[in-house]
A = this chain, B = another copy of it.
Amino acid sequence: MAPVRNTRVLFNEYAEGYPIPGKTLVVDKSETIDLEGAPLKNGQVLVKTIAISVDPYQRGRMSEPGKTTSGDAYELGKPLVNYVVVKVIRSENPDFAPGQHVYGMGDFSEYQILTDLSTWKVLPETRGTPWSAYVGVLGMPGQTAFYGWKEAAHAKKGETIYISTAAGAVGSMVVQIAKADGLKVIASAGTESKLQFLRELGADVVFNYKTTNVEDVLKEHGPIDIYWDNAGGKSLDAALANLNTFGRVVKIGSISSYNSKPEPIYNTETILWKRIIIRGVLVFDHHEQYLDEFYATFPPKVAKGEIKYVEHVVRSLDETPQLVLDQQKGNNTGKAVIVLADE
């Protein structure tokens, strides 16, 4: 069989402020790959990309080396990298068989040859669950919600939680876990369609942070016991002022400062008098503790429709640079995902 085109999204230029489609990220169609003939070394696997996750934290890796936050800077001229679901086409590795679906950190490309598979995981075949779910509600975002909840929320029935960017992939999972555990949920987002989604998830109070003062809402519907912080900045400051004694802040994101200078926080004295705990949680610290429980619990719930989620799907790598920008600006509703094949 003749080589086929292997479209890739390359990291082309360091970003200052928002990433710019065609400058920060470019789509490259110059490469081809011979799916049957490309030589594989012992241990290598040739895979086809099924679904690629696009996540807010990636912005942190688009800054210059030394200015990055969430990991090392992406390499200039190389494909963007993030969580993907791929399907094995050919394998020289005894742990991975053709036809299996595998989850890990891979390139933004149609095909790729994987060499180090030590952190890749073969996915369970759960009837009724699309593969794209494994980079969203069942991937890093869903895991972040679950791990943060177990590790740092210490929620008790009847408490009140405020969740910022609540319609996002992490936030919408937290809304559902919090409601299932008997909490009152205050949730914010930036568009009417996101607020509608939050109402459907059962949030008790929803508001648009772009048109409503966070502090006023928390004063009226709080005080809160937990602040689930995806945002930082003003939301964090308002939450600190409205936390109960022994309140908790679970910090899993900081979208307000990814593309611009951080907004100032003033209400730190209250951390002392209210004996507040603020804690940053990253997903990869806790896989060993919680991943098996997560995979045992959530794929069946998703298959049965007990966990709701919304995806913002694009079907081509060509649309990726714009999707990355839209996500940083909060323009998409639901988990941003690139789906290149359904199975």
Show the binding face of A for B, using Cβ within 8 Å.
60, 69-70, 232, 236, 251-254, 257, 261-262, 264-282, 285
Contacts and interface: CB of A to CB of B under 8 A. Distances in A.
Contacts of A276: 278-280
Nearest to A236: B268
Contacts of A257: 268-269
Given A264-B266, A266-B262, A251 B272 contact: yes
Given A264-B264, A275-B285, A285-B275, A254 B280 contact: no
A57 to B, nearest CB: 9
Contacts of A252: 272
Nearest to A70: B273
B264 A274 contact: no
A243 to B, nearest CB: 10
A151 B282 CA distance: 23
A268 B232 contact: yes
Nearest to A68: B273
A270 B236 CA distance: 14
B265 A266 contact: yes
A2 to B, nearest CB: 45
A278 B269 contact: no
Contacts of A264: 264-266
A60 B270 CA distance: 11
A217 B184 CA distance: 45
B277 A279 contact: yes
A262 B268 contact: yes
Contacts of A70: 273
Nearest to A272: B280
Nearest to A265: B265
Contact of A280 (B262, B275, B282): B275
Contacts of A270: 69
Contacts of A266: 261-262, 264-265
A98 to B, nearest CB: 38
A251 B272 CA distance: 6
Nearest to A254: B269
